[in-house]
């Protein structure tokens, strides 16, 4: 029985063999091929997980059954996979690409990030694909792993070296942590071509992630790179499992994605910038102060790419380190490109620490997670919205509520957020205030509200 839960808001994700197995993945390939009208060219890449090539073969069989031509780029970073949509291979261009990756999830997970006609295949399209597959799960698809091997890494490396040749012999010592993901399928080739002085940690792709979990948004995964930076570096970068997400570290700061957006836009003329609902109010206010246009939107790489295209935005960001450049690039999240753009700022004389020191001081929590279930998480959010219509007398004064993605409650001196994760059975919360005690109060009061919402959902 194929689980409906693997079909998520912006990708397909599940546990290898249990949920992503020969039957389900062949059907995903077949019905995706049908949806993109068959007789199309689809390029496939995969991450370092041991089961990724197995899923590649299942997917290929399904796509071939639908009449598609399959191009195999092998093990690549997700941004390299995206790049395949913008070049040709001996006169052949791709109509779609699929990245097989579990990103930063535990090693037993895997999934598919799908691009069709240079746009994300997500949300209603993924849900409809899931419904069709579940309705036809008895269909038997024969093995057919006919495919054409392609090289995307070389043109990607060449593009980066050409775009950033002015960084050659960059004068500072760089530390990079690949987290045993796929960043180093290309990154050291770029660094070597640009004659960078760098030290690499855990660059060997290994889908068991033997050194630390490949999620640079979690502080405990940055222990080793911080030590290396302190001992022997000037600036450091860490990557998630598929290298579409970045952490930037100086001796003083772990620079979050919304702070990165403020830095990157210093070299843009009145840009349009999209941030997710977890971004600091400081980012939105500072962008507006500089004459930029700031838009708050939903979390999720697919959501932000689509909104960028709709608004012709120059940049988009997530706090977790997804950075999307349309300015001088293609509009997708690429941690390797983001690395080079940050080094460019440093070379241009931007003092990263000084710029962050100059921002208004706020007290922000990390992303705080509340465990729940896939079935209940959105029900709880709906119940929270109901409770906010008539909050208790001791609840902080509400200025307004933004419900573009979950609930962002704006208070007099800060805000609190509750949203349902689209990838895991959790609620994500975050709190910010100009007053540290108030930030804690917001956290306590909103958590009380969540607890009441959970109680009401359970009793319904």
Contacts with 97 (C-beta within 8 Å, 6 or more apart), sequence order: 42, 43, 44, 45, 81, 82, 84, 85, 114, 115
**pLDDT at residue 460 tops 80:** no
Residue 51 annotated in active site: no
Band of the pLDDT at 179, cuts 50, 70, 90? very high
Q: Would you say 358 and 282 are in contact if contact means Cβ atoms under 8 Å apart?
A: no
3-state secondary structure of 14: strand
Q: What is the pLDDT of residues 241-252, one digit of tens each?
A: 999 999 999 999
DSSP type of residue 173: E
List the alpha helices (DSSP H) in 15-115. 22-35, 52-65, 78-83
Dihedral of alpha carbons 377, 395, 387, 389, sign: negative
* Same-domain status, 383 and 437: yes
Check if the beta carbon of residue 312 is closer than 8 Å to that of residue 353. no
Do 219 and 346 sit in the same domain of this protein?
yes
**pLDDT over 80 (residue 161):** yes
**Same domain assignment for residues 180 and 192:** yes
Q: Are 326 and 240 within one domain?
A: yes
Do 429 and 311 belong to one domain?
no
DSSP 318: -
Domain that holds residue 232: 154-357
Q: What is the CATH number of the domain that holds 52?
A: 3.40.120.10
Long-range contacts of range 85-92, CB-CB < 8 Å, 24 or more positions apart?
85/43, 85/115, 85/118, 86/118, 86/330, 87/152, 87/155, 89/148, 89/150, 92/41
Catalytic residue among 61, 84, 103, 302: 103
- Give 261-279 pLDDT, tens digit per residue: 999 999 999 999 999 999 9
Question: What is the spatial distance between Cα 16 and Cα 214, in angstroms, rounded to a whole number?
Answer: 18
Helical packing angle, 257-264 and 281-289, nearest 10°: 10
- Asked if residue 61 lies in contact with residue 70, where contact means CB atoms within 8 angstroms, the answer is no
The pLDDT of residue 227 is above 90: yes
- Give yes or no: residues 20 and 125 share one domain: yes
Q: Which of 131, 151, 171 is the last residue of a domain?
A: 151
Mean pLDDT across the chain:
96
Of 13, 301, 341, 419, the active-site residue reads 13
What DSSP letter does each residue of 186-241 carry, written as one string? THHHHHHHTT-EEEEES-S--TT-SSS-S-TTSGGGGHHHHHHHHHH-SEEEEE-T
DSSP class of 280 = -
Residues 6+ apart with CB under 8 A from 121: 32, 96, 114, 115
Helix/strand/coil for 375: coil
pLDDT value for 422: 79
Same domain, 106 and 193: no
Phi, psi dihedrals of residue 345, rounded to the nearest 5°? -60, -45
Our count of domains for the chain comes to 3
Predicted pLDDT at 5: 87
Decide if pLDDT at 149 tops 80: yes
Task: Inform me whether the pLDDT recorded for 305 exceeds 90.
Answer: yes
Q: Are residues 50 and 198 in the same domain?
A: no
Write down the pLDDT at residue 119.
95
pLDDT digits (tens, 9 = 90+) for 405-452: 999 999 999 999 999 987 778 999 999 999 999 999 999 999 999 999
CA angle 54, 55, 61 (to 5 degrees): 95
259 with 198, same domain: the answer is yes
DSSP classification of residue 5: G
**13 in catalytic set:** yes
Residue 322 a catalytic site member: yes
Q: Are residues 46 and 175 in the same domain?
A: no
Q: What is the pLDDT of residue 38?
A: 74
Nearest to 238 by CA among 225, 257, 223, 252: 225
pLDDT (0 to 100) of residue 308 = 97
Q: How far is CA 233 from CA 32, 250, 251, 459, in A?
A: 46, 9, 9, 55
Q: Indicate the helix (H) or strand (E) that contains 248.
A: strand 246-249
Residue 460 contacts by C-beta under 8 Å, 6 or more apart in sequence?
Answer: none
pLDDT for res 182: 98
How far out from the chain centre does Cα 402 lie? 22
For residue 138, the SS3 value is coil
Last-in-domain residue among 303, 325, 357: 357
Helix (H, G, I), strand (E, B) or coil at 364: strand
**Residue 71, pLDDT score:** 98
Reported as type and span, the H/E element at residue 13 is: strand 12-15
Percent of the chain that is helix, strand, coil (3-state, to 5): 40, 25, 40
Pairing of strands 293-297, 272-276: parallel
Please tell me whether residues 158 and 146 are part of one structural domain.
no
Task: Give the CATH number of the domain where residue 453 resides.
Answer: 3.30.310.50
Boundary-marking domain end, from 331, 357, 383: 357
Contact 1, 18 (CB under 8 A): no
Q: Are residues 158 and 237 in the same domain?
A: yes
Active-site entry in 49, 56, 301, 322: 322
- Residues 27 and 133: beta-carbon distance below 8 Å: yes
Strand order in the sheet with 246-249: 197-201, 173-177, 235-239, 246-249, 254-255
């Amino acid at each position: 029985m194929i689980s409906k839960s693997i079909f998520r808001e912006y990708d397909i994700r599940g546990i290898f063999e249990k949920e992503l197995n020969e039957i389900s993945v062949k059907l995903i390939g077949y019905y995706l091929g049908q949806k993109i009208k068959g007789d199309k060219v689809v390029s496939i890449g995969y991450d370092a997980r041991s089961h990724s090539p197995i899923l590649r073969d299942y997917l290929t069989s399904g796509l071939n059954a639908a009449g598609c031509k399959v191009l195999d780029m092998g093990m690549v970073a997700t941004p390299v996979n995206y790049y395949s949509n913008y070049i040709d291979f001996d006169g052949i261009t791709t109509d779609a690409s699929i990245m097989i990756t579990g990103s930063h999830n535990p090693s037993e997970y895997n999934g598919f990030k799908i691009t069709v006609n240079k746009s994300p295949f997500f949300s209603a399209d993924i849900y409809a694909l899931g419904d069709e597959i579940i309705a036809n799960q008895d269909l038997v698809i024969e093995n057919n792993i006919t495919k054409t091997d392609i090289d995307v890494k070389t043109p990607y490396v060449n593009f980066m070296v050409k775009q950033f040749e002015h960084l050659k012999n960059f004068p500072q010592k760089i530390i990079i942590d690949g987290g045993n993901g796929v960043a180093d399928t290309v990154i050291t080739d770029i660094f070597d071509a640009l004659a960078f002085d760098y030290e690499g940690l855990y660059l060997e792709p290994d889908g068991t992630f033997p050194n630390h979990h490949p999620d640079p948004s979690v502080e405990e995964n940055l222990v080793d790179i911080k030590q290396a930076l302190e001992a022997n570096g000037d600036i450091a970068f860490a990557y998630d499992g598929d290298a579409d997400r970045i952490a930037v570290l100086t001796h003083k700061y772990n620079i979050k994605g919304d702070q990165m957006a403020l830095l990157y836009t210093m070299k843009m003329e009145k840009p349009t910038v999209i941030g997710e609902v977890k971004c600091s109010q400081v980012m939105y206010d500072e962008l507006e102060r500089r004459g930029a246009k700031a838009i708050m939107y939903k979390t999720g790489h697919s959501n932000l790419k689509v909104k960028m295209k709709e608004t012709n935005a120059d940049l988009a960001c997530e706090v977790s380190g997804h950075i999307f450049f349309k300015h001088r690039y293609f509009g997708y999240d690429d941690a390797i490109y983001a690395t080079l753009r940050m080094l460019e700022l440093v070379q241009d004389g931007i003092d990263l620490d000084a710029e962050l020191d100059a921002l208004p001081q706020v007290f922000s929590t990390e992303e705080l997670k509340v465990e729940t279930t896939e079935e209940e998480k959105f029900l709880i959010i709906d119940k929270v919205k109901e409770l906010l219509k008539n909050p208790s007398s001791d609840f902080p004064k509400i200025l307004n509520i933004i419900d573009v993605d979950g609930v962002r409650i704006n208070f007099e001196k800060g805000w609190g957020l509750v949203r349902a994760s689209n990838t895991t059975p959790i609620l994500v919360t975050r709190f910010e205030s100009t007053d540290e005690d108030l930030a804690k109060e917001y956290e306590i009061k909103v958590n009380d509200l969540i607890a009441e919402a959970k109680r009401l959902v359970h009793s319904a």
